[in-house]
Amino acid sequence: MRKCSNCGFDNDDSSKFCVGCGAVLPEAVSTVATPVAPAPQVKVEAAPSQPAAPRAAATSKTSGLCIAGFVVSIISIPLIGIPAIIGLILSICGLGAANKKNLKGKGFAIAGIIISILTGLLFILVVVLTALGMNEFFDEYGEDIVREVETRSEYEDLNIKKIIKNENWVLERQGSYLVFESGNRFRYYETYGDDDSSYYEGTYEIYVGRDAIEYVSEDLEEYGVTEEEIEELLAADKDYCEENFVCIVLNNESCMVDGVNTLDEEVMTPYIGNYLVDGDESGLDLTNMNQATHVYFVPEDQYDD
């Protein structure tokens, strides 16, 4: 039966038009399966194998000489001198090796060459300026330096303490007379040649060189003279040096005037200064620390009254 899709009337299978409404009936669908032709088989041929990609060429190495020359040239900047020459040689050798063997590092070598040359020129400039400066320095201070060295060597071989003890000393201009006696005792007369009327007497101590400096700055600290001040004093005159620096301490036990002791208690009088030698003449260039006055003693045989 063929059912009309328009009115729903059932028609015979052979009818082409609907009996109920006259509508055209659809063609009957054949139930016989149409044979399907088999799909043709396609023969797949294997694609030809591709050749392996070539490996990248090995990276060229960096020249060790180039690096070494650059490093040494950098080090030579603060040191100047010999390192700059070594850096220049290494850099030149490294550049040659890099060009010959196609190595890396040419930039380091070129930088090393430039730095080494500049550093070498700086070294030459420093040497020239130093030489000129030293010439001027010695022209101005050379004589003083030589004199100071000679002064030190002159007094190093002297037993200054013994020389002072073995001499009688006369104060220039005033004519006072200092006599060192045995047993570390002294007499200090008011007038040279008058050894009876007025004089001080007591014991004495003599310090020379480093011992004198330490004694003054430490044992006589109440006078306020420091080691630095003594060194400044010694540097102020080319004839002064540590080797001829002396400290003479007179411990006055009595002051005799016309045979009578006028001193109630012992009085210490320290003198500091230098023992000086000029050819055949010598002297004690001293300062009385109690009175802050300058005095100059000469040996008795050099005194001309």
Express each pLDDT in 125-157 by its tens digit: 888 888 887 766 656 555 554 455 555 667 887
In the structure, what pLDDT confidence band is assigned to residue 51 with cuts at 50, 70 and 90? low
* Domain final residue pick, 140, 172, 204: 140
| pLDDT value of residue 41 | 58
The answer on 182 and 128 residing in a single domain is no
User: What total number of domains does the chain contain?
Assistant: 2
Domain containing residue 116: 64-140
Query: What is the tens place of the pLDDT at every residue in 262-303?
Result: 999 999 999 999 999 988 899 999 999 999 999 999 999 998
pLDDT at residue 62, rounded to an integer: 81
- Whether residue 44 lies inside any domain: the answer is no
Report the pLDDT averaged over residues 5-21. Answer: 79
Q: pLDDT tens-digit profile of 178-195?
A: 999 999 999 999 888 776
The answer to whether position 146 is within a domain reads no
pLDDT, mean of residues 94-116: 83
Evaluated on CA atoms 210, 214, 220, 221, the torsion sign reads: positive
Q: Is residue 244 part of a domain?
A: yes
In a shared domain, residues 270 and 206: yes
The answer to whether residues 107 and 218 belong to one domain is no
**Residues 164, 136 within the same domain:** no
% of the chain beyond a pLDDT of 90: 38
For the chain, the three-class secondary structure string (H helix, E strand, C coil) is: CEECCCCCCEECCCCCECCCCCCECCCCCCCCCCCCCCCCCCCCCCCCCCCCCCCCCCCCCECHHHHHHHHHHHHHHHHCCHHHHHHHHHHHHHHHHHHHHCCECHHHHHHHHHHHHHHHHHHHHHHHHHHHHHHHHHHHHHHHHHHHHHHHHHHHCCCHHHHHHCCEEEECCCCCEEEEECCCEEEEEEECCEEEEEEEEEEEEEEECHHHHHHHHHHCHHHCCCHHHHHHHHHCCCCCCHHHEEEEEEEEEEEEECCEECCCCCEEEEEEEEEEEECCEEEEEEEECCCCEEEEEEEHHHCCC
**pTM of the prediction?**
0.52
Domain boundary among 112, 140, 168: 140
Same domain for 179 and 113: no
- Clarify whether residues 220 and 251 are in a common domain: yes
